[in-house]
Chain A
Amino acid sequence: MTPQSWRRMRQAVQILAVLLFTYLLLGTRQGLPTFLPHDLFFRVDPLAGAAAMLAGRRWIPALALGLATIALAVVAGRAWCGWLCPLGAVLDWTRPRKPAAQDDPRGNWRTAKHALLLVILWAALLGNLTLLILDPLTILFRTMTASVLPAVNALLTAAESALYAIGPLQRPLEWADRILRGVGLVGGEPAFQQGIVLALLFGAIVALNAVRPRFWCRYLCPLGALLGLVSKVAFLRHRVDADACIACGKCARACPTGTIDPARGYAADPAECTLCLDCAAVCPTNAVGFRGHLAPAAWREYDPSRRQALLALGAAVAGVGLLRAAPAARRESPWLIRPPGARENGLLDKCIRCGECMKVCPTSGLQPSLFAAGLEGLWTPVLVPRLGYCDYSCHSCGQACPTGAIPPLALDDKRRAVLGVAYIDENRCIPWADGVDCIVCEEMCPVPEKAIQLDVQTVTRPDGTVAEVRRPRVIRERCIGCGICEYKCPLNGEAAIRVHAP
């Protein structure tokens, strides 16, 4: 095969990887089986796997597939980044065709990703997983779940509703709606806090492509750094045939990670090379090849040093210390309502911040936390009942969680898992404050013996009239904190019944 056809094959594999990612993303829905594990991309993510196992001090069998990715790196270096990583593919597709000038292939900024990797691993050893929010797969999955798909859903729904008013379009729209609903692009009205923030962050990562091609991959990606370090011993490596090379410099300009160094005979660092084959495809003399090597590649200026490792340890210790000293660690927020079973399970040192639970939650009640869990728990799942309740017929989050941070409870056990307790604000509750019947909360309460009871009381209304009214009262021992009462409370703004953390 010519280098050009190899490159075409790489591009085809990238497309397939993104399609697979999309299929699994859309398939991460309540009760929907996929032909591969829906969390496959997290299972093969060695960074998330290593960090979760370090922090949780346990072997997580589901994440053992990360070893396959490590093995791939031992054979073919950062081929993951060039061929399989869906974020890498997106960045490839969005990088400018005429890139900005290449920076120095020995540039020290490349070390930023190593610093990030080391801090993540040290912090994991100290039981903290906060920085896994910067794992490329969690970034992509979270952004898709909390920003892109809800926006697509809202736009499609609006378009459907607008077009449905046109008579002849109704039949085709019904068909389209059934298909879109079937693939999960319409229906369920997903809405996430910080969706816009996450979209902007993602946009920034894409926009940095304009500064340097694959800016994220060369300077920042901690997973790329991990695979790069393994790639120092990679078997398959870029090699330039010095006899054939005419030093035209085309490969150095074409390299998306800018690792081809004209000053070193157009050699590439296997820790930076993604085996994309762009260099081989542009080489006019076929001087670029990929051959087997056994000796480890040279340590470069930007590769981690002992000093950097110690600095990273210091940063991790300081960071974890500061997080533990934060008020959120002293007194928990009353709104820190975790998914079923997760609180008892100690979610923080198990959750890899992937967002699978939020994607699978049929009410989108599970939201990426901003303040409730403190900075340490940024973008971990919290139930925000006013946005979505915990569905009494659903236990999907525990099934979807790749690390067991949310335990895979059987439906009957999940129905008894207490997430919080509902309290009525008697100053605002319609029957309490206005002396008028309402009872939506009682009606909605899903437990077999309702946790909300109605007491018939004779009351004097604010206008002085006397009336009989049914006032709701929460029986705490029965309440599981699912939050459907808070979600459905007909008051505007804040509900008059709110679930507090237990």
Chain B
Amino acid sequence: MNEIDRREFLRRMMILGFSASAAATLLARCGAAQSPTAAPTAAPTAAPTAPPPAAGPAPATPATAQPPTPAPSAGDAYLAVARGESPAALVQTAIRAIGGMERFVKPGADVLIKPNICVAYHGPEYAATTNPEVVGALVALCLGAGARRVRVMDNPFGGTPEAAYARSGIADAVKAAGGQMEVMSEMKYATVPIPQGKDLKQIRIYRDALDADVFINVPIAKDHGLARLTLGMKNLLGVIWDRPAMHRNMGQRIAELTSLVRPTLTVVDAVRILVANGPTGGNLADVKQTNTVIASADIVAADAWATSLFGLKPADVSYIPAAAKMGLGTMDLAGVRVEEISV
């Protein structure tokens, strides 16, 4: 008697399970078609508005796509560079100079902050990971501007996210400022087309990086063997699934990734920079205290300015000219308003 009941129970559970998963699959299909990340079907074969290469200075406001960032008002700097002792004050000053956080974060906004937390190996004094005070100050500014929630995340390539978040000091700083750390779960990655992609037609990427109301990119300026420097655009590798694939034709591929992500705001942490043995670091002799924070809505401009800290030109870092050529921003800083402030 009992045996049959159990069997019957199992049979029903199985039928239920199968129909539920069938329904889920069906729903998933429909859901995917409507999902905002699942991109337009219209093939972007027309290579939209690729600006003529090397045709003088690029326009101050990038022409392609729709930059998600509101245009600066008359008094605001296009790019701000703050120098001084206190990382938090540098962030506040630089953001104020480009229009204040209210320009980027509207009340109720869902904000995602992407620092560089590439490894779980060292504390922030080794300059392998973004300065926790810089990240904490950004969280506080976003909340001050009325953000609904502020999440901070990265996908380390060395060590677990939990260990890296803790070791970098960022977990504590974010918590103290009222934000939350998020471990990047596999379920949240989706493969989406890159409309402007020539070398990369599609990419598997963390959905929230595309869906969040505001995406703030907070790289630390570091040495890198292939790219020469890892700055804002290189930092975007943290939101895609397959990083090693980016290492062929890296400059172009990073630019194409940037064309997809388009951060609202880029804040380059150059409080300390790593001048050799990057991006992992581990040697204090390779760390240089530069006490600088750079902020701009234009990721290309921010990266271009940051090259000067290493005695390089924007054109030396392959993804910067590639991105400028795609119209994602300007690398010609003479054509835009740069404000340098000492704090």
B279 touches A162 (CB 8 A): no
The interface on chain A, measured as residues whose beta carbon lies within 8 A of the other chain's beta carbons, has a size of 47
Check: B277 CB closer than 8 A to any chain A CB. Answer: yes
B31 touches A444 (CB 8 A): no
Chain A residue nearest in CB terms to B163: A393
Question: Among the listed stretches B104-112, B241-249, B252-260, which one makes contact with chain A, having 4 or more residues with CB under 8 Å of it?
Answer: B241-249
A442 to B226, CA, bound (A): 9
A439 touches B281 (CB 8 A): no
Chain B nearest CB: distance from A245 CB in Å? 29
Give every chain A residue within 8 A of B245 (Cβ-Cβ): 490
B31 touches A393 (CB 8 A): no
In the complex, chain A residues 387-415 whose Cβ is within 8 Å of any chain B Cβ: 391-394
**Binary flags per residue of B145-188, CB closer than 8 Å to A gives 1, else 0:** 00000000000011110111001000000000000000101111
In the complex, chain B residues 226-255 whose Cβ is within 8 Å of any chain A Cβ: 226, 244-245, 247-248, 250
Q: A30-B160, A392-B158 are in contact. Are A437 and B187 (CB under 8 A)?
A: no
Question: Among the listed stretches B20-28, B75-83, B85-93, B195-203, which one makes contact with chain A, having 4 or more residues with CB under 8 Å of it?
Answer: B20-28
Q: A166-B27, A443-B224, A448-B283 are in contact. Are A161 and B186 (CB under 8 A)?
A: yes
Check: B120 CB closer than 8 A to any chain A CB. Answer: yes
Give every chain B residue within 8 A of A391 (Cβ-Cβ): 120, 158-160, 163
Chain A nearest CB: distance from B283 CB in Å? 4
Chain A residue nearest in CB terms to B185: A177
Q: Which of A165, A393, A439, A445 contacts B159 (CB 8 A)?
A: A393
Chain B residue nearest in CB terms to A454: B225
A30 touches B163 (CB 8 A): yes
Check: A92 CB closer than 8 A to any chain B CB. Answer: no
Give every chain A residue within 8 A of B226 (Cβ-Cβ): 437-439, 442-443, 470
A470 touches B225 (CB 8 A): yes
A165 touches B35 (CB 8 A): yes
Q: Which of A165, A394, A437 contacts B32 (CB 8 A)?
A: A165
A393 touches B247 (CB 8 A): no
Give every chain B residue within 8 A of A440 (Cβ-Cβ): 244, 247
B186 touches A157 (CB 8 A): yes
A448 touches B31 (CB 8 A): no
A30 to B120, CA, bound (A): 12
Check: A244 CB closer than 8 A to any chain B CB. Answer: no
A445 touches B163 (CB 8 A): no
Give every chain A residue within 8 A of B300 (Cβ-Cβ): none
Check: A436 CB closer than 8 A to any chain B CB. Answer: yes
Chain A residue nearest in CB terms to B250: A437
Give every chain A residue within 8 A of B248 (Cβ-Cβ): 430, 436-438, 490
B247 touches A444 (CB 8 A): no
Give every chain A residue within 8 A of B163 (Cβ-Cβ): 30-31, 362, 391, 393-394
Q: A393-B120, A490-B244 are in contact. Are A163 and B28 (CB under 8 A)?
A: yes
A167 touches B35 (CB 8 A): yes
Give every chain B residue within 8 A of A490 (Cβ-Cβ): 244-245, 247-248
Give every chain A residue within 8 A of B25 (Cβ-Cβ): 162
B24 touches A443 (CB 8 A): no
Chain B nearest CB: distance from A403 CB in Å? 25
Check: A416 CB closer than 8 A to any chain B CB. Answer: no
A187 touches B121 (CB 8 A): no
A444 touches B24 (CB 8 A): no
**Binary flags per residue of A230-266, CB closer than 8 Å to B gives 1, else 0:** 0000000000000000000000000000000000000
Check: A6 CB closer than 8 A to any chain B CB. Answer: no
Give every chain A residue within 8 A of B32 (Cβ-Cβ): 165
Check: B280 CB closer than 8 A to any chain A CB. Answer: yes
Chain A residue nearest in CB terms to B38: A165
Give every chain B residue within 8 A of A63 (Cβ-Cβ): none
Check: B119 CB closer than 8 A to any chain A CB. Answer: yes
A444 touches B283 (CB 8 A): no
A160 to B188, CA, bound (A): 9
Check: A173 CB closer than 8 A to any chain B CB. Answer: yes
Check: A450 CB closer than 8 A to any chain B CB. Answer: yes
Check: A229 CB closer than 8 A to any chain B CB. Answer: no
In the complex, chain A residues 317-337 whose Cβ is within 8 Å of any chain B Cβ: none
Chain A residue nearest in CB terms to B277: A450
B244 touches A488 (CB 8 A): yes
Check: A202 CB closer than 8 A to any chain B CB. Answer: no
Chain A residue nearest in CB terms to B245: A490
Q: Which of B160, B164, B185, B282 contacts A448 (CB 8 A)?
A: B282
Q: A166-B28, A393-B119 are in contact. Are A160 and B187 (CB under 8 A)?
A: yes
A391 to B280, CA, bound (A): 13
A187 touches B185 (CB 8 A): yes
Check: A276 CB closer than 8 A to any chain B CB. Answer: no
A163 touches B24 (CB 8 A): yes
Check: A446 CB closer than 8 A to any chain B CB. Answer: yes
Known A393-B121, A446-B282; further 18 A-B contacts with Cβ < 8 A = A30-B160, A97-B2, A164-B187, A166-B24, A167-B31, A177-B185, A181-B185, A188-B160, A391-B163, A393-B119, A393-B167, A436-B248, A439-B226, A445-B280, A446-B280, A449-B277, A470-B226, A484-B158
Q: Using a CB–CB distance below 8 Å, which chain A residues touch chain B? A: 30-31, 97, 157, 160-167, 173-174, 177-178, 181, 186-189, 362, 391-394, 430, 436-440, 442-450, 454, 470, 484, 488-490
- 6 pairs, CB–CB < 8 Å, chain A vs chain B: A162-B25, A391-B163, A392-B120, A443-B280, A448-B277, A448-B283
Q: Using a CB–CB distance below 8 Å, which chain B residues touch chain A? A: 2, 21, 24-25, 27-29, 31-32, 34-35, 119-121, 157-160, 162-164, 167, 183, 185-189, 224-226, 244-245, 247-248, 250, 277, 279-283, 286
